Amino acid sequence: MRRWITLLTVIFIIQLGLSIYSQLDVGQASSHQGLWLNIDDSKPLTAIHITDQAGSELVIRQQGERWVLPHYSNIPVETSAVERLLAELKTAKKGWPVAASVSAAERFSVATKDYKRKLTLKSGEDEISAFYLGTSPSFRKIHGRLAGDETIYAIRITPHHASVDIKHWLDKTLLYLGPDLNRVSVTTKLSEQFSLVKSGDMWTLEDPKSNGAGSDEIANQRIIKQFISGIGAVSVTGLWQGREQQPVDTLPPAVTLSVNSSTANDGINTSNHNISNHNDENPSLRLYQYDGYYLIKSSHYPYYFELPKARFELLTQADREHFLKPSQSD
Protein backbone atom coordinates (compact mmCIF):
# COMPACT_ATOMS: atom_id res chain seq x y z
CA MET A 1 0.00 0.00 0.00
CA ARG A 2 2.80 2.36 0.96
CA ARG A 3 4.46 1.67 -2.41
CA TRP A 4 1.31 2.75 -4.28
CA ILE A 5 1.08 5.93 -2.23
CA THR A 6 4.70 6.74 -3.04
CA LEU A 7 4.13 6.05 -6.74
CA LEU A 8 1.01 8.26 -6.89
CA THR A 9 2.88 11.02 -5.06
CA VAL A 10 5.69 10.90 -7.65
CA ILE A 11 3.18 11.00 -10.50
CA PHE A 12 1.42 13.96 -8.90
CA ILE A 13 4.70 15.86 -8.50
CA ILE A 14 5.64 15.17 -12.13
CA GLN A 15 2.23 16.38 -13.37
CA LEU A 16 2.47 19.49 -11.22
CA GLY A 17 5.95 20.21 -12.59
CA LEU A 18 4.81 19.78 -16.17
CA SER A 19 1.85 22.06 -15.56
CA ILE A 20 4.05 24.80 -14.10
CA TYR A 21 6.58 24.42 -16.92
CA SER A 22 3.89 24.65 -19.59
CA GLN A 23 2.55 27.83 -18.03
CA LEU A 24 6.02 29.34 -17.98
CA ASP A 25 6.60 28.22 -21.59
CA VAL A 26 3.36 29.83 -22.73
CA GLY A 27 4.32 33.04 -20.98
CA GLN A 28 7.74 33.08 -22.60
CA ALA A 29 6.29 32.27 -26.01
CA SER A 30 3.78 35.10 -25.76
CA SER A 31 6.60 37.50 -24.97
CA HIS A 32 8.24 36.51 -28.26
CA GLN A 33 5.07 36.98 -30.29
CA GLY A 34 5.00 40.77 -30.05
CA LEU A 35 5.38 43.10 -33.01
CA TRP A 36 8.86 43.35 -34.47
CA LEU A 37 8.56 47.09 -35.17
CA ASN A 38 7.06 49.51 -32.68
CA ILE A 39 6.08 52.35 -35.00
CA ASP A 40 4.89 55.50 -33.28
CA ASP A 41 1.63 56.32 -35.09
CA SER A 42 1.64 59.82 -33.58
CA LYS A 43 4.42 60.68 -36.02
CA PRO A 44 3.13 60.57 -39.61
CA LEU A 45 5.33 58.55 -41.94
CA THR A 46 6.48 60.81 -44.78
CA ALA A 47 9.43 58.99 -46.38
CA ILE A 48 10.90 55.54 -46.91
CA HIS A 49 14.60 55.15 -47.73
CA ILE A 50 15.68 51.79 -49.16
CA THR A 51 19.37 51.00 -49.72
CA ASP A 52 20.74 47.77 -51.20
CA GLN A 53 24.08 46.02 -50.66
CA ALA A 54 25.62 47.87 -53.64
CA GLY A 55 24.81 51.25 -52.08
CA SER A 56 21.95 52.13 -54.47
CA GLU A 57 19.29 54.14 -52.67
CA LEU A 58 15.63 54.60 -53.53
CA VAL A 59 13.63 57.28 -51.73
CA ILE A 60 9.84 57.24 -51.64
CA ARG A 61 8.22 60.38 -50.24
CA GLN A 62 4.66 61.35 -49.49
CA GLN A 63 3.41 64.37 -51.40
CA GLY A 64 -0.12 65.32 -50.47
CA GLU A 65 -2.26 62.20 -50.80
CA ARG A 66 0.15 60.30 -53.02
CA TRP A 67 3.67 58.85 -52.90
CA VAL A 68 6.36 59.98 -55.34
CA LEU A 69 10.01 59.38 -56.26
CA PRO A 70 11.68 62.72 -55.39
CA HIS A 71 14.96 61.80 -57.10
CA TYR A 72 13.06 61.22 -60.34
CA SER A 73 11.16 64.49 -60.74
CA ASN A 74 8.42 63.32 -58.37
CA ILE A 75 7.03 60.73 -60.75
CA PRO A 76 4.17 58.94 -58.95
CA VAL A 77 4.49 55.67 -57.09
CA GLU A 78 1.85 52.94 -57.09
CA THR A 79 0.08 53.52 -53.79
CA SER A 80 -0.79 49.85 -53.32
CA ALA A 81 2.93 48.92 -53.40
CA VAL A 82 3.64 51.27 -50.48
CA GLU A 83 0.57 50.10 -48.56
CA ARG A 84 1.56 46.46 -49.09
CA LEU A 85 5.05 47.01 -47.64
CA LEU A 86 3.82 49.06 -44.67
CA ALA A 87 1.12 46.49 -43.87
CA GLU A 88 3.75 43.75 -43.67
CA LEU A 89 6.09 45.86 -41.55
CA LYS A 90 3.37 46.89 -39.09
CA THR A 91 2.09 43.33 -38.58
CA ALA A 92 5.43 41.44 -38.58
CA LYS A 93 5.79 39.32 -35.41
CA LYS A 94 9.12 38.71 -33.72
CA GLY A 95 8.81 35.00 -33.02
CA TRP A 96 11.82 33.30 -31.44
CA PRO A 97 15.25 34.95 -31.92
CA VAL A 98 17.40 33.27 -34.54
CA ALA A 99 20.70 34.61 -33.22
CA ALA A 100 22.28 37.62 -31.55
CA SER A 101 25.91 38.21 -32.44
CA VAL A 102 28.06 40.18 -34.86
CA SER A 103 29.13 37.03 -36.69
CA ALA A 104 25.49 35.91 -37.07
CA ALA A 105 24.56 39.33 -38.44
CA GLU A 106 27.22 38.91 -41.12
CA ARG A 107 26.12 35.34 -41.82
CA PHE A 108 22.48 36.35 -42.28
CA SER A 109 23.41 39.57 -44.19
CA VAL A 110 21.94 41.98 -41.65
CA ALA A 111 25.21 43.53 -40.45
CA THR A 112 25.72 47.29 -40.32
CA LYS A 113 27.97 47.26 -43.38
CA ASP A 114 26.94 43.96 -44.94
CA TYR A 115 23.21 43.68 -45.65
CA LYS A 116 20.76 42.91 -48.43
CA ARG A 117 18.51 45.87 -47.68
CA LYS A 118 18.47 48.72 -45.20
CA LEU A 119 15.20 50.55 -44.65
CA THR A 120 14.83 53.86 -42.85
CA LEU A 121 11.36 55.22 -42.06
CA LYS A 122 11.15 58.98 -41.54
CA SER A 123 8.70 61.58 -40.37
CA GLY A 124 9.99 64.79 -41.89
CA GLU A 125 13.67 64.83 -40.92
CA ASP A 126 13.10 62.63 -37.86
CA GLU A 127 13.97 58.94 -38.05
CA ILE A 128 11.12 56.70 -36.91
CA SER A 129 12.86 53.37 -37.40
CA ALA A 130 15.85 51.83 -39.17
CA PHE A 131 16.43 48.14 -39.77
CA TYR A 132 18.26 45.63 -41.93
CA LEU A 133 16.79 42.84 -44.07
CA GLY A 134 18.99 39.94 -45.13
CA THR A 135 18.77 36.36 -46.30
CA SER A 136 15.50 34.49 -46.73
CA PRO A 137 15.16 31.29 -44.64
CA SER A 138 11.86 30.29 -46.27
CA PHE A 139 9.03 31.46 -48.51
CA ARG A 140 7.84 34.99 -47.62
CA LYS A 141 10.22 35.20 -44.68
CA ILE A 142 13.40 37.18 -44.25
CA HIS A 143 16.01 37.68 -41.56
CA GLY A 144 15.67 41.08 -39.95
CA ARG A 145 17.59 43.11 -37.38
CA LEU A 146 16.73 46.48 -35.89
CA ALA A 147 19.50 49.09 -35.97
CA GLY A 148 21.16 49.23 -32.55
CA ASP A 149 19.95 45.73 -31.60
CA GLU A 150 21.96 42.54 -32.11
CA THR A 151 18.91 40.24 -32.01
CA ILE A 152 18.01 38.67 -35.35
CA TYR A 153 14.52 37.37 -36.18
CA ALA A 154 12.96 35.52 -39.10
CA ILE A 155 10.05 37.82 -39.91
CA ARG A 156 7.21 37.45 -42.38
CA ILE A 157 8.02 40.02 -45.06
CA THR A 158 8.09 39.34 -48.78
CA PRO A 159 11.66 40.28 -49.88
CA HIS A 160 10.76 41.90 -53.23
CA HIS A 161 8.28 44.22 -51.50
CA ALA A 162 11.36 46.15 -50.28
CA SER A 163 12.98 46.39 -53.70
CA VAL A 164 15.19 49.25 -54.94
CA ASP A 165 14.02 48.55 -58.50
CA ILE A 166 12.03 51.54 -59.75
CA LYS A 167 9.89 49.25 -61.90
CA HIS A 168 8.45 47.69 -58.74
CA TRP A 169 7.24 51.07 -57.42
CA LEU A 170 6.37 53.05 -60.55
CA ASP A 171 2.71 53.87 -61.09
CA LYS A 172 2.23 52.22 -64.47
CA THR A 173 -0.77 54.49 -65.18
CA LEU A 174 1.13 57.77 -64.75
CA LEU A 175 0.46 58.69 -68.42
CA TYR A 176 -3.22 57.77 -68.20
CA LEU A 177 -5.41 60.47 -69.79
CA GLY A 178 -8.85 58.93 -69.48
CA PRO A 179 -11.72 58.74 -71.96
CA ASP A 180 -12.46 62.46 -72.28
CA LEU A 181 -10.24 63.21 -75.26
CA ASN A 182 -11.74 65.44 -77.93
CA ARG A 183 -8.82 66.11 -80.26
CA VAL A 184 -5.59 64.34 -81.16
CA SER A 185 -3.15 65.94 -83.59
CA VAL A 186 -0.92 63.40 -85.29
CA THR A 187 2.50 63.87 -86.89
CA THR A 188 3.88 60.71 -88.45
CA LYS A 189 7.51 59.73 -89.01
CA LEU A 190 7.12 60.90 -92.62
CA SER A 191 5.92 64.32 -91.36
CA GLU A 192 2.32 63.67 -92.42
CA GLN A 193 0.01 65.80 -90.29
CA PHE A 194 -3.69 65.50 -89.51
CA SER A 195 -6.07 65.67 -86.56
CA LEU A 196 -8.78 63.44 -85.17
CA VAL A 197 -11.59 65.63 -83.80
CA LYS A 198 -14.60 64.56 -81.77
CA SER A 199 -17.99 66.13 -82.46
CA GLY A 200 -20.75 64.69 -80.33
CA ASP A 201 -20.28 60.94 -80.45
CA MET A 202 -18.56 60.95 -83.83
CA TRP A 203 -14.96 61.47 -84.86
CA THR A 204 -13.86 63.31 -87.98
CA LEU A 205 -10.51 63.66 -89.66
CA GLU A 206 -9.12 67.14 -90.29
CA ASP A 207 -6.32 67.56 -92.79
CA PRO A 208 -4.46 70.91 -92.90
CA LYS A 209 -4.13 70.54 -96.66
CA SER A 210 -7.71 69.71 -97.53
CA ASN A 211 -9.51 71.21 -94.50
CA GLY A 212 -11.29 67.93 -93.85
CA ALA A 213 -11.71 64.52 -95.41
CA GLY A 214 -12.53 64.36 -99.09
CA SER A 215 -16.09 63.72 -100.26
CA ASP A 216 -15.20 60.13 -101.16
CA GLU A 217 -13.68 59.40 -97.77
CA ILE A 218 -15.38 58.48 -94.51
CA ALA A 219 -13.74 58.31 -91.09
CA ASN A 220 -13.57 54.76 -89.76
CA GLN A 221 -15.22 55.21 -86.35
CA ARG A 222 -14.22 51.79 -85.03
CA ILE A 223 -10.54 52.22 -85.87
CA ILE A 224 -10.44 55.79 -84.54
CA LYS A 225 -12.15 54.88 -81.26
CA GLN A 226 -9.74 51.98 -80.77
CA PHE A 227 -6.82 54.33 -81.38
CA ILE A 228 -8.18 57.02 -79.01
CA SER A 229 -8.83 54.42 -76.33
CA GLY A 230 -5.22 53.25 -76.71
CA ILE A 231 -3.97 56.80 -76.09
CA GLY A 232 -6.25 57.51 -73.14
CA ALA A 233 -5.39 54.28 -71.34
CA VAL A 234 -1.62 54.17 -71.91
CA SER A 235 0.01 51.90 -69.36
CA VAL A 236 3.80 51.77 -69.22
CA THR A 237 5.87 48.80 -68.09
CA GLY A 238 8.73 50.74 -66.53
CA LEU A 239 11.12 53.66 -66.57
CA TRP A 240 13.62 53.22 -69.39
CA GLN A 241 17.14 53.21 -68.01
CA GLY A 242 19.09 52.63 -71.19
CA ARG A 243 22.67 53.61 -71.81
CA GLU A 244 22.25 57.16 -73.09
CA GLN A 245 19.11 59.16 -73.74
CA GLN A 246 20.85 61.49 -76.17
CA PRO A 247 20.78 59.05 -79.15
CA VAL A 248 17.01 58.73 -78.74
CA ASP A 249 16.58 62.50 -78.60
CA THR A 250 18.25 62.80 -82.00
CA LEU A 251 15.98 60.23 -83.66
CA PRO A 252 12.75 61.20 -85.41
CA PRO A 253 9.83 59.81 -83.38
CA ALA A 254 7.73 57.06 -84.92
CA VAL A 255 4.73 59.30 -84.19
CA THR A 256 3.98 62.47 -82.24
CA LEU A 257 0.57 62.88 -80.63
CA SER A 258 -0.68 66.21 -79.29
CA VAL A 259 -3.66 65.49 -77.07
CA ASN A 260 -6.56 67.70 -76.00
CA SER A 261 -8.98 66.72 -73.25
CA SER A 262 -12.52 68.01 -72.87
CA THR A 263 -11.81 68.56 -69.16
CA ALA A 264 -8.58 70.53 -69.63
CA ASN A 265 -10.31 73.91 -69.28
CA ASP A 266 -11.64 72.92 -65.87
CA GLY A 267 -8.14 73.39 -64.41
CA ILE A 268 -7.92 69.81 -63.19
CA ASN A 269 -8.34 66.75 -65.33
CA THR A 270 -10.34 64.54 -62.99
CA SER A 271 -9.81 61.53 -65.22
CA ASN A 272 -6.07 61.63 -64.49
CA HIS A 273 -4.82 62.37 -60.98
CA ASN A 274 -1.22 61.99 -62.13
CA ILE A 275 -1.02 65.09 -64.30
CA SER A 276 -3.10 67.49 -62.22
CA ASN A 277 0.02 69.30 -61.00
CA HIS A 278 1.16 70.19 -64.52
CA ASN A 279 0.40 73.62 -65.87
CA ASP A 280 -0.16 72.16 -69.35
CA GLU A 281 -2.96 69.63 -68.97
CA ASN A 282 -2.69 68.64 -72.65
CA PRO A 283 0.49 66.63 -73.17
CA SER A 284 2.49 65.86 -76.25
CA LEU A 285 3.46 62.20 -76.60
CA ARG A 286 6.37 60.96 -78.72
CA LEU A 287 6.98 57.29 -79.44
CA TYR A 288 10.33 55.73 -80.37
CA GLN A 289 11.71 52.31 -81.17
CA TYR A 290 15.33 52.11 -80.09
CA ASP A 291 17.79 49.34 -79.30
CA GLY A 292 15.03 46.76 -78.98
CA TYR A 293 12.91 48.95 -76.69
CA TYR A 294 9.50 50.50 -77.33
CA LEU A 295 9.52 53.93 -75.70
CA ILE A 296 7.15 56.79 -75.00
CA LYS A 297 8.08 60.32 -73.91
CA SER A 298 5.51 62.69 -72.44
CA SER A 299 5.98 66.45 -72.30
CA HIS A 300 4.98 66.16 -68.62
CA TYR A 301 8.08 64.17 -67.62
CA PRO A 302 11.81 64.33 -68.51
CA TYR A 303 12.06 60.53 -68.87
CA TYR A 304 11.40 57.82 -71.42
CA PHE A 305 9.07 55.04 -70.35
CA GLU A 306 8.84 51.54 -71.75
CA LEU A 307 5.69 50.42 -73.55
CA PRO A 308 4.37 46.95 -74.37
CA LYS A 309 5.03 46.11 -78.00
CA ALA A 310 1.30 45.68 -78.77
CA ARG A 311 0.44 49.16 -77.45
CA PHE A 312 3.37 50.70 -79.34
CA GLU A 313 2.22 49.11 -82.60
CA LEU A 314 -1.36 50.29 -82.02
CA LEU A 315 -0.28 53.90 -81.54
CA THR A 316 2.25 54.00 -84.37
CA GLN A 317 -0.11 52.66 -87.06
CA ALA A 318 -1.26 56.22 -87.34
CA ASP A 319 -0.99 57.15 -91.02
CA ARG A 320 -3.94 59.07 -92.44
CA GLU A 321 -5.29 56.23 -94.62
CA HIS A 322 -5.49 53.97 -91.59
CA PHE A 323 -8.39 56.02 -90.19
CA LEU A 324 -10.46 56.18 -93.40
CA LYS A 325 -12.70 53.74 -95.19
CA PRO A 326 -14.08 53.97 -98.75
CA SER A 327 -17.58 55.41 -98.91
CA GLN A 328 -18.96 52.30 -100.64
CA SER A 329 -18.09 50.17 -97.60
CA ASP A 330 -20.29 52.29 -95.36
- The predicted-structure confidence for 225-278, as pLDDT tens digits, reads as follows 999 999 999 999 999 987 556 678 888 999 999 998 765 434 333 333 444 445
Residue 109 has pLDDT above 80, yes or no: yes
Separation between Cα atoms, residue 327 and residue 187, nearest integer Å: 25
Q: What letter represents residue 299's amino acid?
A: S
Share of the chain above pLDDT 90, in %: 60
Statement: the pTM of the whole predicted model exceeds 0.85: no
Residue 330: the pLDDT is 47
- How many C-beta neighbours within 10 Å does residue 86 have? 15
- How many C-beta neighbours within 10 Å does residue 289 have? 17
- The predicted-structure confidence for 183-202, as pLDDT tens digits, reads as follows 999 999 888 899 999 999 99
Separation between Cα atoms, residue 86 and residue 101, nearest integer Å: 27
Residue 317 has pLDDT above 80, yes or no: yes
Mean pLDDT of 152-177: 93
DSSP 253: P
Residue 83: the pLDDT is 95
75-76 and 126-133 strand pairing: unpaired
- The DSSP string of 165-181 is -HHHHB-TTTT---S-E
Residue 243: the pLDDT is 55
Residue 15: the pLDDT is 65
Share of the chain above pLDDT 70, in %: 78
| Position with higher pLDDT, 23 vs 252 | 252
Exposed/middle/buried for residue 143 (C-beta within 10 Å: 0-12, 13-18, 19+): buried
